[in-house]
Amino acid sequence: MATPIEKIKTKRAEALNRIISKGYLSTKRVYVGMATCEIAAGSKEVMAVFKENINNGLTDVYLSQKGCAGRCNLEPTVEVIEEGKIPVKYGKVTPDMAKEIIEKHLKKGEIIDEWVIK
């Protein structure tokens, strides 16, 4: 039978594994607008591209959804936040654009200026 200290160590290790596996300690965060209007504009497909890439080995990225930003004319939106940098919000993102955001911005650190919401 495990001692109380061993039980605590096991619980702590399980909690750390959950935190790491969900990407909470990642230095890059991606938020896809998933309000009803953004879903209608195609954000589910955009979110699917990011999920697929994370499931296939894209590391150090925390992916989540966010609510309405009140910019319906620019939907779907994707916000990339990197540690120590100014957040970047992309507008009218398509699944193909999401792939390019992954390749250029997330992997190489290159902001795609022509897609940035100013």
Give the helix/strand (H/E) hosting 63: strand 61-66
Task: Answer with the residue of higher pLDDT: 2 or 20.
Answer: 2
Q: What Rg value do the Cα atoms of the chain yield, rounded?
A: 17
Structural domains for the chain: 25-115 (3.40.30.10)
- Which two structure tokens, joined as six digits, stand for 46? 């955009």
Length of the chain: 118
Q: What is the pLDDT of residues 37-62, one digit of tens each?
A: 999 999 999 999 999 999 999 999 99
**What gap in Å lies between CA 28 and CA 49, rounded to an integer?**
16
The answer to whether residues 32 and 43 touch, using CB atoms and an 8 Å cutoff, is yes
As a whole number, mean pLDDT of residues 11-29 equals 86
Signed CA dihedral, 96, 82, 64, 74: sign only? negative
Rounded mean pLDDT of the chain?
93
Structure confidence at residue 62 (pLDDT): 95
Structure confidence at residue 88 (pLDDT): 98
Q: What is the pLDDT of residues 67-91, one digit of tens each?
A: 988 888 999 999 999 989 999 999 9
As a whole number, mean pLDDT of residues 85-111 equals 97
Q: What is the DSSP letter of 73?
A: G
Nearest one of 44, 32, 53 to 103, comparing CA atoms: 53
Structure confidence at residue 21 (pLDDT): 75
